[in-house]
């Protein structure tokens, strides 16, 4: 923070506004005092607005940088594991070995769902989208743990974090099992976090499940790469819901709802749908032309990003992982992959995409990996949601443990001014 000021002239008024600097990144102008001058700022989509102060994640979109608590995402993906990243996001520092072991053990102790939760799954239609089920079931956790949830109590917030991190893979896998009519598979605590997720997804009670270590490692990387992404739409939704003092499980359910849309977490599912629609390499040019046509709403799914205007550092790690997984599974000649590779090449060379800095984003590659592992398309955003839960929680936790006010945006009203109700 500094004592620098920005001056805003509106008509004959000159207003001084404080300017603050973060550790890194752009300065911000504190516009909170404007309301007293009868002025609001106008920023639909929050493109220029910092809605909070945060010390969790930093993104430099121009230079393709993503840091969690200062650590580059590439280094975390290479050297860490998802649960250690969860600890880092939550606590602010990497754990010592003892803290790390304790954290892993604690998470393992919370993986089972309350047995009554099975009934919630059964209330859904079999063909319900798994995101709809996940949103409902996570919201329902608030009914199970409401009494033990005092948001001002740090210990209770920690337990909530442990429960959420531990139970999300169980909920996610059960959404899938329910949709295909297979029995729910219980967590096995001798497995790692990602191995356990794979066994709950693909295991059956009549056979022993042996997780493939390369696929488990790839899953763990997908979890790490989706763990947090600063003040995106779903995280901002969780913060806004949490600013009212709402139950944290309900707040996480609001994040799941916001993530679902194709412009956000739904993009990895949309990528695979798009590749299937393209169908054959000979159709690619037609789809590229559609993407460039201003009169056609079609967009190349998995390309472009609101913040990354150079490259998405997560996409780089994901691209490497995609190649590892596809070669492990002998799927290098998969027709959808061929289409994906050709699209990637075109987008990196075509003037339209280069000019607009539309690079393949993380969802472009994660969809391919998840498909290769055997996770159905409708589950892609569910995997994103379970990975992002720690990010949502860390932001909610940061907010409620500091000074905060209820979120209440303003508007530029363009409706009718006051008028009288027409009498008969
Ligand atoms: N295909 C074709 N053209 C595009 C695309 C695309 N995927 N994305 C942006 N454009 C064009 C857009 O038409 C506009 O062109 P012009 O300047 O001529 O009007 C220009 O690029 C800028 O687009 P914008 O809509 O102003 O960019 P935005 O920052 O508002 O949107 C985005 C970002 C991610 C919503 C958008 O790029 C998009 O819809 N991409 C496809 C969906 C997708 O992959 N989403 C996942 C994002 S990464 C996961 C996450 O973090 O949630």
Among the listed residues 305, 323, 350, 420, the single catalytic one is 305
pLDDT of res. 1: 55
Positive or negative CA dihedral for 272, 66, 58, 253? Answer: positive
Does the beta carbon of 203 sit less than 6 angstroms from any atom of ligand 1?
A: no
Q: Please give the distance, rounded to the nearest whole angstrom, from the Cα atom of residue 294 to the centre of ligand 1.
A: 13
Q: Is 303 in the pocket of ligand 1 (CB under 6 A)?
A: yes
CATH top-level class for 81-204+233-259+380-401? Answer: mainly alpha
CB of 338 closer than 6 angstroms to any ligand 1 atom: no
CA-closest residue to ligand 1 atom 11: 356
Instruction: Quote the CA–CA distance of 104 and 162 in Å, as a whole number.
Output: 10
Q: Determine which residue's CA is closest to atom 16 belonging to ligand 1.
A: 356
Helix axes 335-349, 362-373, angle to 10 degrees: 170
Instruction: Measure the CA angle with vertex 152, ends 148 and 154; round to 5°.
Output: 80
Cβ–ligand 1 distance for 398 under 6 Å, the answer: no
- Report the atom number in ligand 1 closest to the C-alpha of 291: 2
pLDDT average per 10 residues of sequence, the chain (424 residues) = 86 94 96 94 95 96 94 97 98 98 96 94 94 96 82 93 98 96 96 98 96 95 96 97 95 97 84 92 93 94 86 89 89 85 88 90 88 92 96 98 94 97 89
- With a 6 A CB cut-off, is 302 part of the ligand 1 pocket? yes
The alpha carbon of 354 and the centre of ligand 1 are apart by a number of angstroms equal to: 13
309 CB under 6 A from ligand 1?
A: no
Active site residue 363: yes
Any catalytic annotation for residue 114?
Answer: no
Nearest CA to ligand 1 atom 26: 306
| Assigned CATH class of 5-66 | mainly beta
Catalytic residue among 81, 228, 312, 363: 363
Indicate which residue's Cα is closest to atom 4 of ligand 1.
Answer: 299
Q: Strands 28-29 and 57-60, how do they pair?
A: unpaired
Is 232 close to ligand 1, i.e. is its CB under 6 Å away?
A: yes
End-to-end CA distance of the chain: give it in Å, rounded.
61
Report whether residue 305 contacts ligand 1, using a CB cutoff of 6 Å. yes
Residue 90 · residue 393 · CB < 8 Å = yes
3-state secondary structure the chain: CCCCEEEEEECCEEEEEEEECCCCCCCEECCHHHHHHCCCCCCHHHCCCCCCCCCCEEEECCCCEEEECCEEHHHHHHHCCHHHHHHHHHHCCCCCHHHHHHHHHHHHCCCCCCCCHHHHHHCCCCCCCHHHHHHHHHHHHHHHHCCCCCCCCHHHHHHHHHHHHHHHHHHHHHHHHHHHCCCCCCCCCCCCHHHHHHHHHHCCCCCCCCCCHHHHHHHHHHHHHCCCCCCCHHHHHHHHHHCCCCCHHHHHHHHHHHHCCCCCCCHHHHHHHHHHHHCCHHHHHHHHHHHHCCCCCCCCCCECCCCCCCCCHHHHHHHHHHHHHHHHCCCCCCHHHHHHHHHHHHHHHCHHHHHCCCCECHHHHHHHHHHHHCCCHHHHHHHHHHHHHHHHHHHHHHHHCCCCCCCCCCCCCCCCCCCCCCCC
| Confidence at residue 93, expressed as pLDDT on a 0 to 100 scale | 98
Torsion of CA 308, 311, 314, 318, to 10 degrees: 140
Task: Note the pLDDT of residue 2.
Answer: 62
pLDDT at 265: 82
Candidates 3.40.50.620, 3.90.230.10, 1.10.230.10, 2.40.50.140; CATH matching 266-373: 1.10.230.10
pLDDT at 148: 66
Output the pLDDT for position 285: 92
**Cβ-proximal residues to 367 (8 Å cutoff; 6+ apart), any chain:** 268, 269, 271, 272, 302, 377, 380
Residue ID of nearest Cα to ligand 1 atom 17: 356
Note the pLDDT of residue 361.
87
Domain layout of the chain by residue ranges: 5-66, 81-204+233-259+380-401, 266-373
Ligand 1 centroid to 347 CA: how many Å? 13
51, 231 Cβ separation under 8 angstroms: yes
Task: Say how many Å lie between the CA of residue 135 and the centre of ligand 1.
Answer: 26
Which neighbouring-strand residues pair with 13? Answer: 10
Q: Let me know if 273 is exposed, middle or buried by CB neighbors in 10 A (0-12, 13-18, 19+).
A: middle
CB of 255 within 6 A of ligand 1: the answer is no
- Most ligand 1 atoms within 8 A of CB, residue of 304, 344, 352, 380 to mutate: 304
Confidence at residue 215, expressed as pLDDT on a 0 to 100 scale: 95
Q: Give me ligand 1 centre to Cα 359, in Å.
A: 10
Q: What pLDDT score does 363 carry?
A: 84
Q: Establish whether residue 263 lines the binding site of ligand 1, counting it when its CB lies within 6 angstroms of any ligand atom.
A: yes
Residue 366 CB–ligand 1 contact under 6 Å: no
The number of angstroms, rounded, from the C-alpha of 351 to the middle of its chain's C-alpha atoms is: 30
CA of residue 221 to ligand 1 center, whole Å: 25
Alpha-carbon gap, residue 375 to 104, rounded angstroms? 25
Query: Sheet containing 28-29: which strands, arranged edge to edge?
Result: 5-10, 13-20, 28-29
């Amino acid at each position: 923070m500094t004592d620098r000021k920005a001056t805003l002239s509106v008509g004959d008024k000159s207003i001084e506004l404080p300017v603050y600097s973060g550790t890194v990144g752009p300065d911000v102008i504190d516009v909170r005092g404007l309301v007293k001058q009868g002025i609001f700022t106008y920023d639909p989509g929050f493109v220029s607005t910092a809605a909070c102060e945060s010390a969790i994640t930093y993104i430099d979109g121009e230079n393709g940088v993503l840091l969690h608590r200062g650590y580059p995402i590439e280094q975390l993906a290479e050297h860490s594991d998802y649960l250690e990243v969860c600890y880092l996001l939550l606590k602010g520092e990497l754990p010592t070995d003892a803290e790390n072991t304790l954290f892993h053990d604690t998470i393992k102790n919370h993986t089972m769902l309350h047995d009554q939760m099975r009934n919630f799954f059964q209330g859904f239609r079999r063909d319900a989208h798994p995101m709809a089920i996940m949103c409902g079931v996570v919201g329902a956790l608030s009914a199970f743990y409401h009494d033990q949830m005092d948001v001002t109590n740090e210990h209770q917030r920690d337990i909530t974090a442990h429960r959420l991190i531990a139970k999300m893979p169980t909920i996610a896998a059960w959404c899938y099992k329910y949709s295909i009519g297979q029995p729910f598979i219980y967590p096995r605590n001798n497995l790692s976090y990602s191995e356990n997720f794979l066994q709950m997804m693909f295991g059956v009670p009549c056979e022993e499940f042996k997780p493939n270590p390369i696929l488990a490692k790839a899953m763990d990387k997908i979890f790490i790469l989706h763990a947090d992404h600063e003040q995106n739409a779903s995280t901002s939704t969780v913060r806004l819901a949490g600013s009212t003092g709402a139950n944290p499980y309900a707040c996480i359910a609001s994040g799941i709802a916001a993530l679902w849309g194709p412009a956000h977490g739904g993009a990895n599912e949309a990528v695979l749908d798009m590749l299937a629609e393209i169908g054959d390499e000979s159709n690619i040019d037609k789809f590229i032309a559609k993407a460039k046509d201003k009169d056609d709403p079609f967009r190349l799914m998995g390309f472009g990003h609101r913040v990354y205007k150079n490259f998405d550092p997560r996409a780089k790690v994901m691209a490497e992982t995609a190649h590892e997984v596809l070669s492990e599974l002998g799927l290098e000649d998969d027709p959808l992959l061929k289409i994906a590779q050709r699209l990637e090449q075109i987008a990196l060379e075509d003037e339209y995409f280069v000019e607009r800095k539309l690079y393949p984003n993380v969802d472009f590659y994660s969809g391919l990996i998840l498909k290769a592992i055997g996770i159905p398309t409708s589950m892609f955003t569910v995997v994103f949601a379970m990975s992002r839960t720690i990010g949502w929680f860390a932001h909610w936790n940061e907010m409620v443990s500091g000074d905060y006010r209820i979120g209440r945006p303003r508007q530029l009203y363009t409706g009718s001014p006051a008028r009288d109700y027409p009498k008969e």
